[in-house]
Amino acid sequence: MPVKAFGGGIDYNLQMMTFETYRREVTTLTTFVTHFCNDKHSDLPREARTIGIRYGTETAEPIETTLCDGCAETVAYGIARLQGCPYDEKPKCRKCSDPCYERPMWKRVAAIMRYSGMKLGLTKVRKKIRFWSGA
């Protein structure tokens, strides 16, 4: 159902994020950070990680991946931000009334998403990284 954006008094006519959207975004985040870690952190100790998918009362099969400690932290941060983002059809992040992208950690996430997006072929993934690129 349409909701009014909190803060700022700007009505974007947004919808709450669905579980399917959440699941898709977590999968994209994990895939992209894993790609980045494979490329950039092959010299660091990397471990098997299980990325749980839980949003509200719903859960899905967790994602198994391999990441260094720093990238595992990045994924955990991204997931925390995603759980904090109430928007399904995202506003441009720069216009968001609660712009998480300004925080330094978010910039790290955005940089990783852009890097992997480019490596994986931007035309196919532009839509996918909309939420994460801060654009």
Q: Binder to Zn ion among 14, 17, 71, 82 (CB under 5 A)?
A: 71
Q: Which stretch binds Zn ion (CB under 5 A): 14-22, 34-42, 53-61, 121-129?
A: 34-42
For residues 67-91, one letter each, b for 16 or more C-beta atoms within 10 angstroms of the residue's C-beta and e for the rest, the string is: bbeebbebbebbbebbeebebeebe
Contacts of 14 (CB under 8 A, 6+ apart): 2, 3, 5, 86, 87, 88, 89, 91
54: contact with Zn ion by CB under 5 A: no
- Minimum CB–partner distance for residue 48 and Zn ion (Å): 13
Q: Which stretch binds Zn ion (CB under 5 A): 41-49, 96-104, 106-114, 121-129?
A: 41-49
Pairing between β-strand 58-68 and β-strand 14-15 as defined by DSSP bridges: unpaired
Q: Which stretch binds Zn ion (CB under 5 A): 5-13, 60-68, 108-116, 126-134?
A: 60-68
Binding site for Zn ion (CB under 5 A): 37, 41, 68, 71
